Amino acid sequence: MIDCHDPLAVFRAAVDAVNAEDWLGAAALVDPECLRMFHQGAITGLTQQGPAEAPTADWFLSRAPNLSRARAEELAARAAQETDRAYRLAREFPSVASIDELQSLTPTELFSRWLDGKSMRRKFQRLIAAGSLPANTLERYGDAPVRGGLRYVPVGSVAEGEAYMHVLYRPDFFPRGRVVRHVAPPDRRPSEEQLRQRHLGFRTMLYVATLLRQPDGCWLFVVIHDFLRMAARHEEGVALLVPRDDPDGPSSV
């Protein structure tokens, strides 16, 4: 049972829900008004008419003469995709079959579908479809690369008046019980000073999640464009999630 009056407990519950791929459970921890606005913005963004024609390769070359023809063609293809409503729907909400279905979802349901679309499992599926990862990656590694990967630790919270609470958090670089293995040969390992500098750098890598107090005193997340950096992480590479000691694993994405 979550102590919803404790902002750090709410934060930890959100991280646990994401790691368990419990998208409805995670969405339930978001302020209802934020969910309503997110719902309205998502539907408006996907139903409004985009540009009639996408820029062509020649258009890109006219703006950047030093651009190669191949790169200009690639940019033109991407621009064309952005005018395709079906493509944008599949990218943002891969579990939603149509705009009509999207419009029928409640704000909580829509946000949960968006979280699913920004999950690491969907990221792996995109990379596999693009040929950047072997087709058997998910079968080979099971759930290890896609579940439990959101390792955040709350550092503390700062109140802003009575209504808002800002939770400071960072990646869990120092998990208890984990043994750090030195894979580099002794002559290439970092010095004590370098390790200390790295340690200090990790400590300064902080993010902020804002929570809003509800009428019953519980805290719920304020969400505008992202949730626990899921959208940002979705666009980042996933090579580090594949076991490093696997010689056949991809080295980069």
**Average pLDDT of each block of 10 consecutive residues along the chain (253 residues)?**
95 95 97 98 84 78 89 82 81 93 97 94 83 80 66 94 97 64 60 79 89 98 94 64 43 36
pLDDT at 23: 97
Q: Look up the pTM and report it.
A: 0.76
pLDDT at 104: 97
pLDDT at 249: 47
State whether 79 and 104 are in the same domain.
Answer: yes
**C-alpha separations of 125 from 105, 140, 147, 253 in Å:** 24, 13, 14, 13
Task: Give which of 216, 215, 234, 236 is closest to 225, Cα–Cα.
Answer: 234
State whether 189 and 239 are in the same domain.
Answer: yes
State whether 146 and 249 are in the same domain.
Answer: yes
State whether 129 and 233 are in the same domain.
Answer: yes
248 is a domain residue: yes
26 is a domain residue: no
pLDDT at 253: 33
State whether 75 and 130 are in the same domain.
Answer: no
Q: Would you mind telling me the total number of residues written for the chain in this entry?
A: 253
State whether 63 and 173 are in the same domain.
Answer: no
pLDDT at 162: 96
Q: By the 8 A CB rule, do 211 and 220 touch?
A: yes
State whether 84 and 124 are in the same domain.
Answer: no
State whether 52 and 124 are in the same domain.
Answer: no
State whether 151 and 238 are in the same domain.
Answer: yes
Of the three residues 89, 108, 127, the one that is the final residue of a domain is 108
71 is a domain residue: yes
Task: Give which of 41, 36, 26, 42 is closest to 220, Cα–Cα.
Answer: 26
Q: CB-hemisphere CA count at 13 Å for 6?
A: 9
104 is a domain residue: yes
State whether 4 and 37 are in the same domain.
Answer: no
Q: By the 8 A CB rule, do 147 and 15 touch?
A: no
Domain residues for 137? Answer: 1-21+119-253
State whether 93 and 51 are in the same domain.
Answer: yes
State whether 136 and 220 are in the same domain.
Answer: yes
